[in-house]
Amino acid sequence: MVIVEKNELFSVMREFNPWWETGAVPDSLPWKRSAFAELRDWIIDPPSRRAVLVTGARRVGKTTLLRQLIQKLLADGVSPRNILYLTLDHPLLKLSGIGNLLQIWRELQPNIQGMEFLFIDEVQNLTGWETWVKHQVDFQKDRRIAITGSAIPLNIREVESGAGRWHTIKLPTLSFFEYLKILNVSVPSIPEVSSLTAINQFKPDERIRITESGKSLVGYFHEYLQRGGFPETAQIEDISLAQKLLREDIIDRVLKRDMTDVFGLRNVSELERLFLYLCYHDGGILNISQLSNTMERSNKTVAHYIDILEAAHLIYRLRPYGYGKQVLKGHSKVYLADPAISGSVFLKGKGILENATKLGAAVEAAFFKHIFTRYYQEAIGFSYWRGRGDREVDIIAEVRGELVAFEVKYRNSPVTKGDLRGLGEFHSKHKGDRAYVITGNANDFGPISISDDFSAMKIPAWLACYWLAQSERRV
């Protein structure tokens, strides 16, 4: 049964592929995110034969990334007729099936000799897409494929490598460095560092010069915490309007549409209730049993909801240090995927700057996003640690046999040794190799002694996030 006429489908496809007629991508943004280079290399000169899966929340810039790569291919001389872009968010394209669309493309837009390039947005709307991608990689040797997904089903997300058929690029919201670039902010002279360990080379007078020259960025960092790292809302001058639009995107489009279409949830209101709880307790340790009692749902149901929110790129989750080894059970720590989500969901406006607790939580979420984004491809294990009483360490990174600890203390007064008893206890028990303290005072920058044989490096939060996004992928 013919549902949509071939010519009508081709007309839709032509609207999404204007380069077939013009040879160029209209309104292609010249500014590129750091992930562009990785995507370019995997499509133009791949290190191995794989498709590329770009995952990330809705409105984070995945489509723009694909369009910029298409512009690059055209500039390199690839025939426009050999480049196909499809978005499976479009009802007619989704209804017609990928095989039918590819057949129409080749019938009405014949191949020019050379490699074919397929770019498919929101691939989770294609039933059995992972099987289709594997088949393409195995049997279509003259075709390279990049796909995007905003919400990857749980059974597929567990094997994101696709048994060697695709390489995953995780696209988070904008880093602080990218936020400054997209706003075209004139950044003062701040030296580049290859890694956080390189900060130790700065002498006291150099650290003073860096913080003095970069103090103008502190205000932008606070704006970043309020507007967030979604490219569209980050550029809206009115913070209240930016937060309103972000709230509508998350609540109406992600929670209410994707959760039904992709994950098959029928009672979305329960998931929304849980998400609002996480927004209110951003960076908190999640007790599933207590939350289950509050929601009057089973532990299994609540844990499943947490899995779904993580799969939809709305949260990050950390297990307690030693989980699965020394620690058999433990509560997860949850961060929102962007520091502005909490303030936007509750429409706080600039109120976050007036609440020390909420501001600290937003900074901690922002810092974790930066460090996770920088190092996730190195298979670094991230966790948190709790000791006696209220002693804890916010983030533990296990990398190349080393334990690197991070503690966020975002406040105006300088951080003292007495504030870091958690770091001291963790080091005495687990012999941590390095430690960093993320501070709120722009001048609170330099080494601090934790114990007789261990010290940490204090770094202002805006500077730590800036350097993490700017530096190479090394801890």
Q: Does 151 share its domain with 182?
A: no
Q: Within a domain: residue 33?
A: yes
What is the per-residue pLDDT across 237-257, written as a single tens digit (0 to 9) for each?
A: 999 999 999 998 887 778 877
Q: What is the DSSP string of 126-146?
A: STTHHHHHHHHHHH-TTEEEE
Q: Within a domain: residue 11?
A: yes
Q: What is the pLDDT along the chain (475 residues), one digit of tens a residue?
A: 456 788 889 999 999 999 999 999 987 677 888 899 999 999 999 999 999 999 998 889 999 999 999 999 999 999 999 999 999 989 899 888 899 999 999 988 888 888 999 999 999 888 888 889 999 999 999 999 999 988 776 454 444 445 578 999 999 999 999 999 999 999 888 888 888 888 988 999 999 999 998 889 999 999 999 999 999 999 999 999 999 999 988 877 788 777 777 777 878 888 899 999 999 988 889 889 989 998 999 999 999 899 989 988 999 999 999 876 655 467 899 999 999 999 999 988 888 899 999 999 999 999 999 999 888 777 678 999 998 888 999 999 988 788 999 999 999 999 999 999 999 999 999 988 999 999 999 899 999 999 888 999 999 999 999 999 886 443 3
Q: Which two tokens stand for residue 466?
A: 């800036």
Q: Does 78 share its domain with 119?
A: yes
Q: Does 167 share its domain with 262?
A: no
The CATH number covering residue 122 comes to 3.40.50.300
Q: Does 146 share its domain with 230?
A: no
Q: Does 284 share its domain with 372?
A: yes
Looking at residue 398, the DSSP 8-state letter turns out to be E
Residue that is written with structure tokens 């489509």 in the block: 63
Residue that is written with structure tokens 């003259």 in the block: 142
Q: Does 458 share its domain with 427?
A: yes
Q: Which two tokens stand for residue 348?
A: 């706080």
Q: Does 65 share its domain with 37?
A: yes
| Separation CA 348–CA 345 (nearest Å) | 8
| Separation CA 364–CA 370 (nearest Å) | 10
Q: Does 153 share its domain with 249?
A: no
Predicted TM-score (pTM) of the model is 0.90
Q: Which of 138, 171, 204 is the last residue of a domain?
A: 171
Evaluate whether 292 touches 298 at the Cβ level (below 8 Å). yes
Phi first, then psi, for residue 131 (nearest 5°) are -70, -40
Q: Within a domain: residue 1?
A: no
Q: Which residues form the domain of 67? A: 6-171
Q: Within a domain: residue 252?
A: yes
What is the per-residue pLDDT across 338-386, written as a single tens digit (0 to 9) for each?
A: 999 999 999 888 888 999 999 999 999 999 999 998 887 776 789 999 9
3-state class (DSSP) for residue 144? strand
Q: Does 101 share its domain with 164?
A: yes
Share of the chain above pLDDT 70, in %: 94
Q: Within a domain: residue 475?
A: no
| Separation CA 312–CA 314 (nearest Å) | 6
Q: Which of 144, 171, 198 is the last residue of a domain?
A: 171
Alpha-carbon dihedral sign for residues 146, 147, 150, 151 = negative
Phi first, then psi, for residue 113 (nearest 5°) are -50, 130
Q: How many domains does the chain have?
A: 2
Q: Which of 171, 195, 215 is the last residue of a domain?
A: 171
Q: Does 64 share its domain with 123?
A: yes
Q: Which two tokens stand for residue 82?
A: 């050999």
Q: Within a domain: residue 321?
A: yes
Q: Does 318 share its domain with 449?
A: yes
pLDDT value for 474: 38
| Separation CA 450–CA 326 (nearest Å) | 25
Q: Does 286 share its domain with 322?
A: yes
